[in-house]
């Protein structure tokens, strides 16, 4: 997606669900500080194995679980592909990633309040806003949110993960992706629409694993010096009409 060796890893397994989420820190001192912070909060932290470090293409990492049982990793020193710059599989401008990371991930959790306290007080994320219902959005860089959580009983579904979001750098890239999904019979979960909180124009498609991908463009950035947390009473400014799919769960907000 960008200069990093990779942003997404797919492993063979039985769960057909999200395996872990990685959070980058600046360097070894920050990794040690985060490890101590987690342990001070009573979180069990384990060093990454040699194999895990090699597969992730990072210098070092530690692993732990959040209150919902999601595996998390904190790392530093990701491998940059200096001599192998990213070349899209089709003509396109590219993705908004780099210092803003992959995009975002939306997760189902059994206790939203407990997870919210953990992500803010322990992991150090910042609250962006609250969506309709009981969704909460968090950021760790200028991207409006890198993580969102929803109560599992509010948005039921076959997987723990609700969706991931990938952001294109061009509206034409977004439109072309929509056309390709239609041409190749990729199931569409929601039509083109726009969210009120991150102002993302996007559509949702369904993966073979039955979780969603939000493919977007034009998401807003956050300036922490001026940002004010808000609560939204509406999921969409326009669009994002649900398209019925057999045994498909709602895509969530964001």
| Domain range annotation of the chain | 1-85, 98-239
Nearest to 132 by CA among 156, 145, 150: 150
From the number of C-beta atoms within 10 Å of its C-beta (0-12, 13-18, 19+), residue 84 rates as exposed
From the number of C-beta atoms within 10 Å of its C-beta (0-12, 13-18, 19+), residue 223 rates as exposed
CATH match for 1-85 among 3.10.180.10, 3.30.300.10, 3.40.50.720, 3.90.1310.10 = 3.10.180.10
Query: DSSP string covering 126-142, please?
Result: EEEEE-STT-EEEESSS
Express each pLDDT in 25-74 by its tens digit: 999 999 999 999 999 999 999 999 999 999 999 999 999 999 999 999 99
CATH of domain 98-239: 3.10.180.10
pTM exceeds 0.85, yes or no: yes
How are the residues of the chain apportioned to helix, strand and coil, as percentages rounded to the nearest 5?
20, 30, 50
d(CA 96, CA 174): 12
On the question of a common fold for 1-85 and 98-239, the answer reads yes
Banded pLDDT at 15 (limits 50, 70, 90): confident
97 close to 1: Cβ distance less than 8 angstroms: yes
From the number of C-beta atoms within 10 Å of its C-beta (0-12, 13-18, 19+), residue 44 rates as exposed
Question: Which phi and psi angles does 191 have, rounded to 5°?
Answer: -75, 175
pLDDT(248) > 60:
no
Positive or negative, the Cα torsion across 134, 38, 54, 82?
A: positive
pLDDT(81) > 80:
yes
d(CA 218, CA 172): 12
Positive or negative, the Cα torsion across 35, 105, 119, 158?
A: negative
Express each pLDDT in 154-191 by its tens digit: 888 889 999 999 999 999 999 999 999 999 999 999 99
pLDDT at 251: 65
């Amino acid at each position: 997606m960008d200069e990093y060796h990779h942003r997404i890893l797919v492993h063979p397994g039985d769960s057909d669900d999200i395996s872990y989420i990685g959070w980058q820190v600046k360097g070894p001192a920050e990794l040690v500080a985060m490890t101590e912070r987690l342990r001070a909060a009573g979180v069990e932290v384990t060093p990454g194995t040699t194999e895990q470090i090699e597969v992730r293409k990072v210098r070092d990492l530690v692993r732990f679980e959040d209150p919902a049982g999601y595996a998390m990793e904190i790392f530093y020193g990701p491998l940059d592909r200096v001599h192998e710059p990213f070349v899209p599989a089709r003509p396109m401008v590219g993705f908004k990633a780099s210092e803003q990371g992959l995009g975002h991930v939306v997760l189902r959790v059994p206790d939203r309040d407990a997870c919210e306290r953990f992500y803010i007080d322990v992991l150090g994320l910042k609250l962006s806003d609250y969506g309709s219902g009981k969704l909460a959005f968090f950021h760790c860089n200028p991207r409006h949110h890198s993580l969102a959580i929803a109560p599992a009983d509010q948005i039921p579904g076959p997987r723990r993960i609700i969706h991931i979001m990938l952001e294109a750098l061009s509206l034409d890239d977004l439109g072309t992706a929509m056309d390709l999904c239609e041409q190749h019979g990729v199931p569409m979960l929601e039509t083109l629409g726009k969210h009120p909180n991150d102002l993302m124009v996007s559509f949702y498609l369904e993966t073979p694993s039955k979780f969603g991908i939000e493919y977007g463009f034009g998401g807003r950035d956050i300036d922490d010096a001026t940002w004010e947390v808000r609560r939204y009473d509406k999921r969409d400014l326009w669009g994002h009409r649900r398209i019925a799919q057999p045994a498909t769960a709602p895509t969530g907000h964001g």
